[in-house]
Structure 1
Amino acid sequence: MLRPIVVGLDGSRESLAAADWAAREALLRGLPLRLVHAWEGLPSDAADLPELDAPRHWARRILRAAMDRIDEKYPQVSLSGDQIARPAADALVTAGAESELLVLGSRAFSGIGGFMAGSVASATVAHAVRPVVLVRAGRTAEDEHLPDAEGRTSAVTAYRPVVVGLDPAHSCEELLAFAFESAALHAAPLRVLYAWQLPFMPVAAEAKARRTLRETATRRLDRVLGPWREKYPAVELHPLAEEGRPALRLLDITKDAGLLVVGRRIRPAVLGTHTGPVAHAVVHHARCPVAVVPHE
Structure 2
Amino acid sequence: MVRPIVVGLDGSRESVCAAHWAAREAARRGLPLRLVHAGEGMPKDSETVSLPELKVPQCRARTILDGAVDQVRAQCPSVRLTAELIGRLPVPALVAEAESAELLVLGSQGFGGLGGLLAGSVATAVVTRVRTPVVLVREGFAAVDEHVPNGDGQASVGNPYRPVAVALDLAHDCDSLLDFAFEAARNRAAPLHAVYAWRLPHTRTGTDEGDMPARSDAEWALDSMLDPWRDKYPDVTVHAEAEHTRPVHAVLRAAEHAGLLVLGREIRRGAVGGRTGHVTRMAIQHVSCPIAVVAHE
Same fold (TM over 0.5): yes
Q: Name the structure 1 match of 2:229.
A: 228
Alpha-carbon distance between aligned partners in 2 of 1:25 and 1:105, rounded to the nearest angstrom: 15
- The size of the alignment, in residue pairs, is 287
Cα shift at 1:43: 9.4
Provide the rounded CA distance (Å) in 1 between the counterparts of 2:276 and 2:77.
35
Residues 163 and 192 in structure 1, CA contact (< 8 A), matched pair in contact too = yes
C-alpha distance in 1, partners of 2:121/2:36? 17
Partner of 1:56: 58
Q: 1:271 to 1:51 in 2, by over 3 A?
A: closer
1 CA distance for matches of 2:195 and 2:110?
A: 23
Which residue in the other structure is 2:6 paired with? 6
> Which amino acid counterpart does residue 231 of structure 2 have in structure 1?
E
Cα-to-partner distance string for 1:229-287 (whole Å, 9 max, x where unaligned) = 11011111011100111122101121011000000111113343111222222122211
> Cα RMSD (Å) of the superposition?
2.3
| Aligned twin of 1:146 | 148
Segments of structure 2 that go 5 or more residues without pairing to the other structure are: none
Question: What is the match of residue 39 of structure 2?
Answer: 39
- Counterpart Cα distance in 2 of 1:251 and 1:260: 10
SS in 2 for 1:35: strand
Contact 1:108 1:284 in 2 (8 A): no
Matching of residues 94-105 of structure 1 within 5 Å:
94-105=96-107
* TM-score for both structures, normalised by structure 2: 0.91
Classify the secondary structure of the residue corresponding to 2:63.
helix
TM-score between both structures, scaled by the size of structure 1: 0.91
Residue of structure 2 aligned with 1:117, choices 113, 116, 119: 119
User: Which residue of the partner structure matches residue 212 of structure 1?
Assistant: 213
What CA distance in whole angstroms lies between the structure 2 residues aligned with 1:165 and 1:258?
Answer: 14
The answer for the alignment partner of 2:80 in structure 1 is 78
Tell me how far 1:97 sits from its aligned partner: 1.5
AA aligned opposite 2:157: A
Q: Is the 8 A contact 1:108 1:285 kept in 2?
A: no
Give the secondary structure class of the aligned counterpart of 1:130: coil
Structure-1 separation of matches of 2:185 and 2:23: 18
In 2: Cα distance, 1:220 partner to 1:212 partner = 12
Unaligned runs of 5+ in 1: none
What is the deviation of 1:201?
4.7
What SS does structure 2 have at the residue aligned with 1:269? Answer: coil
SS in 2 for 1:272: coil
Of the three residues 77, 82, 89, the one matched with 1:87 is: 89
Q: Describe the SS at the equivalent of 1:194.
A: strand
**Structure 1 residues 42 and 231: CA distance shift in structure 2, 3 A:** closer
